[in-house]
Amino acid sequence: MRFGEDVDLSLRIVELGFSTRLFPNAYVFHKRRTDFRKFFRQVYNSGIARINLHLLHKGSLKLVHTLPSLFVIAMILCVLLAIRFPLLLLLPALYCLAVFTDSILINRSIKVAFLSISAAWTQLFGYGLGFLSAVWKRLILGRGDFKAFEKNFYK
């Protein structure tokens, strides 16, 4: 697996009868994406990977994994229904305000707080859309394994 390989390894270890353990002082370094487009591609593929992991390891899919997809659906519905119910646009605005407020309190930087809004939306929409795409293609249409944004992913 190109995405989700760490989770796949953990699940295989448990399936073989071994146990895993958290080492709170251990550090794992991941390559950080340098712009929001690359970050979107990364989390989109993570959403796809979650369905691939579900198919490889029955019972590994939890309700929490669906939350970004529910966020995507809810935000799209808010925008579409805002034509009839304009107050629905307050929901995305309140979410942005919550992210901004949390970030400003933690980071003490207006610039970082604004970037946090973009990062939060990118993460939720990227993962959520990847997850929904994989649900549609793999679970509903029954297609084989697929990945997105493979070409030049690491550039």
For the segment 91-120, what is each residue's pLDDT rounded down to a tens digit?
999 999 999 999 999 999 999 999 999 999
- Residue 143 dihedral angles phi and psi, to the nearest 5°: -75, 160
- pLDDT at 91 (0 to 100): 97
- pLDDT at 152 (0 to 100): 56
- pLDDT at 143 (0 to 100): 87
- The two tokens of residue 30 are 């991941």
Residues 99/117, Cβ–Cβ less than 8 Å: yes
Q: Which residue has the higher pLDDT, 133 or 22?
A: 133
Structural domain count of the chain: 1
Residue 151 belongs to a domain: no
Domain, as residue range, for 45: 5-140
For the segment 18-71, what is each residue's pLDDT rounded down to a tens digit?
998 889 999 888 777 889 999 999 999 999 999 999 999 999 999 999 999 999
pTM: 0.87
Residue 155 belongs to a domain: no
- The two tokens of residue 116 are 């946090």
Residue 146 belongs to a domain: no
Residue 28 belongs to a domain: yes
Residue 153 belongs to a domain: no
Residue 150 belongs to a domain: no
> Exposed, middle or buried, 51 (CB in 10 Å: 0-12/13-18/19+)?
buried
Residue 52 belongs to a domain: yes
